[in-house]
Structures are given as C-alpha cells and as structure tokens.
Amino acid sequence: MKKHSARVAPLSACNSPVLTLTKVEGEERPREAAAGAADAPSAGGAGGAEGGSGKRRLRCCVRVTPAQVRKALWGVAMVVCVCSSWAGSTQLAKLTFRQFDAPFTLTWFATTWNCLFFPLYYIGHLCKNPERQTPKQRFRECCRFFGDDGLTPKVFLTRVAPFGLLWILTNYLYLQALRKINTTDVSALFCCNKAFVFLLSWIVLRDRFMGVRIVAAILAIAGIVMMTYADGFHSHSVIGITLVVASASMSALYKVLFKMVLGSAKFGEAALFLSIVGSANFVFLSFVPVILYFTRVEYIGSLANVPWLYLCGVAGLLFAFNVLVNFGIAITYPKLISLGIVLSVPVNAMVDLYTCEIHFNTVRLIAVFIICLGFLMLLLPEDWDQCIIQLSTKLRKRDEPAEGAGEAATATGLNWRGRARTSMSTFAH
C-alpha cells in the first residue's frame, strides 16, 4: 500500500461529541528559512540602522505567503462553520427533547446519516480527480485500508464493530447528559475529551511527555470538580456531569484505539469507514428503537407527534460538523478547526443566558474558563518552547547590528573630536 503525504484519522468524526480533530501526518505548519539578506547590517547612522533593524524584524516575524493567507482566510470561515454546526446541533438537540424524549432513537437516526459520507466523497473524487474510477473500483481501493483481504467479516467484527459501539455510546451518553444539565456545562465539560486523549496516548501509545499538557489535564480535572461544586453536588447535576465525562472518555478511547489498531486513513478511507459505521448502525441496531418503543422506555404516541424537522435538523448539523472536522484540514489548519470547537462554549453560554434560567455564578465561570484554557493549551505544538526560544534568539540577533552600528558611529565621533583637539593644541604651540 503506497504512502501518501496527507492521511487523516476519522476520530473526531464520532458524530457530534468526538471533538478530537483529524490530524495530518507530517508538518502541521510550514517552516520558513531565515532570510540571509536580513542578517546584513544596514549602512548609515544610528537612525538608519534602527529603521533597517525594524524592517528586518518585521520580515522575520511576519513572513507569510499567499498560500498561507488563503489558508488562514479559509480557516476563519471554518471556525465560524464548525462553531455554528456544533453549537447549533447541541441547542437543537436540547429543544428536541422537549417534544421527543428519545435519546437513543435520536442517536440511531443521526448516526444513520453517516451512510452519506462515501457517496459525497465519490462525487468530490469525480469532480477533482482526472483519473476517474467507478464506484466499485474506488470502494475496493479504499477497502485496502483494512488489510490485504479488504473488508472481511472477521475484519468487520474486530476492527469496525468495536468503534461503532464506541460511537453509539459516546453520542448516547452525550445526549443523555443534555437531558440533565444545560448545554453550556455539557459543551464545556466535553472539551475535557482532549485531555483524556493525551493521558491515554501517553500511557497506551507511549506518546511524548509534555509538561504543558499535564498541566492542561490537571486543569480539565479541576474544572470537572468545580463544575460539580457549582451546583452544590445535587444528584441531578452530578448524574449529568458523570454522563458527559463518560461520553468524553468514550470518545478519547475511540481515538486512541483507532490510532493503535488502524493507524491513520486517507480521505477516501475515512469516508468509507464512516459510511460503514452508519450502515452497520442502520442494519444491526434498528431493532433497539423498536424495543424501546414497545417497552415504553422511549415511547412515541404516533408518527404524527414526531418532530421530524427537529430530528433532521440535529442529524444534518451533526453530519455537517463531521464533514468539516474530518475533511476541513484539506483547506485550512487543524488548529483553527479546534478553535471553532472551543468557541462553541461561549456561544452556548450566550444562548442559555437568554433562553433558559441558568445562574452563572463565579465557580461555574471559573470552571468553564479553566476547562477551555486547558483545551487551548493542548493545541500547542510539541516544540512550542523551542519555537519561542528561536523567535527570541532571532529578535536579539536582529537588534545586534543596530547596536553595533550605533556604537561604531559613537566611536567615530569620539575619534574625530580627539583629533580636532590635538590639531588645535599643535596649532597653538
């Protein structure tokens, strides 16, 4: 199987709650070489040296290409779209439960929409790729992701079914938490997912130890405790917080196991995997909503009482969110997609403030803030400390020519005055 430069892991695509984003193997940001011309000292006096140093510093610190600007602009659009789809699906799911209190049925319905991933990918393949393949050929090529034998029953039971179950559990627990507590707390607490991913990766995958990420994990755990304390440890609130933390744990387990068992996938392979999960959900789990209906656990009076518009709205927003998260890295930076996810927390807070009776006390605000801070700290690259050291070193080197030019000018002035005094004294004698 040939290696490709861009490979993604469809881990964040675990419907709405799985927020850990797809990663591109290789460099996540372009590394620019320092310009040799910028190191040359400028001619002229101290003022000219200072101006030249300022220009060189500007060229050193703000070195962008048209491709980077285009990626950044796409990133701004992606931030808005990811934030809107994630916050919108959470708020709409909360509204749906007022008329349709069936979290598993909603999970099953929304997951079934994943069947559309591979057809949409194939349409994009026809539009972009000059070497067009038939759907059967493309399907067989993407099936190589599962091994040389393709998608066999054994591979399905050992490598696909477990992730499908984790997907369902993640979403079901997340929706159950929405029934217990407000959307602001749910979306903020689920951001702890990234901290759990780091801890599991460090233990299971032997990932690199990073002190800043340990601090972020501690902040996430402290935020969970403070969020529980904010409501006074009432049973209703504790159950909701436990559900959303369990959902975040399931999504973290999904990501780490996927990385350990399957590794990473190309865009077509990711689309096929998600379509298989959606199809398996429809084929093998359709009996569960029926059983829940007849046992009156999730009872619906009649089909006319089902708010189909709300259900399709939630499923559509979740599907859009998954498409943006999994395939948005083709046009922008993964960090910007993550930024859109964490920005959904203040959006949900603003909506809750005007639509429901929520009390933002000091403890709750601090808890939300430190959880979001921990999430952002986990977005720092592994060599973030080295980048800061290199940047400060470059800035010092840019200042040295200006200081040297200033000292040279001062020394020249002193020499000239000394010579003048010597001439005057000789003339007087």
DSSP 149-170: T-S-HHHIIIIIHHHHHHHHHH
What are the pLDDT digits (tens) for 214-254? 888 888 888 888 888 777 767 678 898 999 999 999 999 99
Question: Residue 96 pLDDT more than 70?
Answer: yes
Residue with tokens 């977005």: 379
Percent of the chain with pLDDT over 70: 76
Residue 149, CA atoms < 13 Å, CB-side half-sphere:
6
Written as six digits, the tokens of 343 are 């920005």
- Name the β-bridge partners of 265: 8
Confidence (pLDDT) at 62: 52
Q: What residue spans of 205-263 are helical by DSSP H? A: 211-230, 235-261
Burial 258-269 (b: 16+ CB within 10 A, else e): bbeebebbbbbb
Question: Residue 413 pLDDT more than 60?
Answer: no
* Max CA pair span of the chain: 122
What are the pLDDT digits (tens) for 2-25? 444 344 444 333 333 343 334 443
Asked whether 144 and 160 are in contact (CB, 8 A), the reply is: no
Question: Residue 28 pLDDT more than 50?
Answer: no
Tell me the pTM.
0.77
d(CA 142, CA 271) in angstroms, rounded, equals: 9
d(CA 386, CA 379) in angstroms, rounded, equals: 15
**Residue 205 CA from chain centroid, whole number:** 20
Confidence (pLDDT) at 373: 87
Asked whether 318 and 16 are in contact (CB, 8 A), the reply is: yes
Confidence (pLDDT) at 272: 93
Confidence (pLDDT) at 203: 84
Confidence (pLDDT) at 36: 36
Judged by average pLDDT, the poorest of 37-51, 78-92, 105-119, 273-287 is: 37-51
Confidence (pLDDT) at 425: 43
Question: Residue 41 pLDDT more than 50?
Answer: no
d(CA 20, CA 166) in angstroms, rounded, equals: 14
d(CA 244, CA 175) in angstroms, rounded, equals: 8
Secondary structure of residue 265 in the 3-state scheme: strand
What are the pLDDT digits (tens) for 333-358? 788 888 888 888 989 989 988 887 67
Q: In this structure, what are the phi and psi dihedrals at residue 250, rounded to the nearest 5 degrees? A: -65, -40
Q: What is the number of other CB atoms lying within 10 angstroms of the CB of residue 58?
A: 12
Confidence (pLDDT) at 420: 44
* Mean pLDDT for the stretch of residues 408-429: 45
**Confidence category of residue 384, pLDDT binned at 50, 70, 90:** low
Percent of the chain with pLDDT over 90: 28
Whose CA is closest to 93, among 291, 252, 317?
317
Residue 427's contacts (CB-CB under 8 Å, 6 or more residues apart) are none
Residue with tokens 């605000």: 365
* Mean pLDDT for the stretch of residues 158-169: 93
Query: Mean pLDDT score of the chain, rounded to an integer?
Result: 77
Written as six digits, the tokens of 298 are 């999730």
d(CA 327, CA 45) in angstroms, rounded, equals: 54
